[in-house]
Structure 1
Amino acid sequence: MRTNLADIRQEYTKSGLRENELPGDPLSLFSRWLQEAIDAEVDEPTAVIVGTVSPEGKPSTRTVLLKGLHDGKFIFYTNYESRKGKQLAQNPYISLSFVWHALERQVHIEGTAAKVEPAESDEYFRIRPYKSRIGARISPQSQPIKSRMQLMRAFVREAARWLGKNVERPANWGGYAVTPTRIEFWQGRPNRLHDRFLYTLQPDGEWEISRLAP
């Protein structure tokens, strides 16, 4: 590698996060930040890094897309037989990380995940693009495959099977709703003196706010 990674630096100067302007509900602030990321046309504003834990206690991460924010819960969809699906079946604890580099912002969430109702998964599946629905039906997500050609052949066969029909959601594909218990907002600031505010859910359902050292 020709580049010295230690020399790569960036000064964060775009914004700040003031404690006296924080809302009592972190979902309100998250919704505003997400909309600002969308309005700023950042790359993949709904992309979220999902962290789960294996039965051996080993963490694993991957990126999915946020597809809903309902009743204080974060919604995403996936294959229930994927690696993350199998891990969530044994351990519902989960982390979500949104990183919007263009705005010098991050949001880190911890909580528990549970499958959404089948009807909700059906409703979302119906509005997906046709080819995405076919792909969901044929992909053995996270499993080894021999080649890309294997996927393409399965896709063509499945597409022909559903031609002119309503593509049904496979039983092994659906949504998860993440109920947060900890939400941290990170705003880059000059001199690495970043603003970090942590919302922690209390037993009475209220959120406690604290500032964290950068």
Structure 2
Amino acid sequence: MNTISQEILAMTQRYYLDVDYLECCGCKLCEEACAVLRGGGIVSPGTARIRVEVRPTTGADIPLVCQHCEDPPCMVCPVGAMSINEMGVVIIDEDKCIGCRQCVQACPFGAIQIHPVTRKAIKCDLCGGHPKCVEICKKAHPPGVIHFVKAEDAGKFNRDRWADRLEESITRAMKLTGSAISGALEGAAADLAAQAERGEVG
């Protein structure tokens, strides 16, 4: 396997694309920006390394991106065209690639495609650390739906959203509990007042 050692990889600061799927509007600007970058300045359909899929049943827009796995299934490549670089990014050596599609079939995220002209495998390489899709998404839809994050921050949007929901639930429960306690105290005070009027309180 043509890759750096696991010891070096363990010490490497790794980065990922973190997508806030619920906020994606399906504009496909990320896909177009990638296609322009990879197409030499023009929109070249089929060359984008990120794809936005529209689900037929729900109409949900799902950006499909490479997860740069710790143990990539795409390493099944029989000619060693897949490797992990010093940034922990899974990359393809197109000179070695023979277009057998084994990596395409192995990727569980559908993040590897075949180039429409060269007929070789292509995938996201994080643009060397400056992802164009992140840049264009942030400009078009601030603060952005796609973010370039450190490995330890991956999944931040899901965690934040879950925390927000818990916070809302807890706040609502506290308000309801507070209202119930307040109502009980008011009721007890009214009972005492009524008893006092009747001379039942000594």
TM category (shorter chain) comes to: under 0.3
Higher strand proportion: 1
Higher helix proportion: 2
TM-score under structure 1 length normalisation: 0.22
Larger gyration radius, structure 1 or structure 2: 2
TM-score under structure 2 length normalisation: 0.23
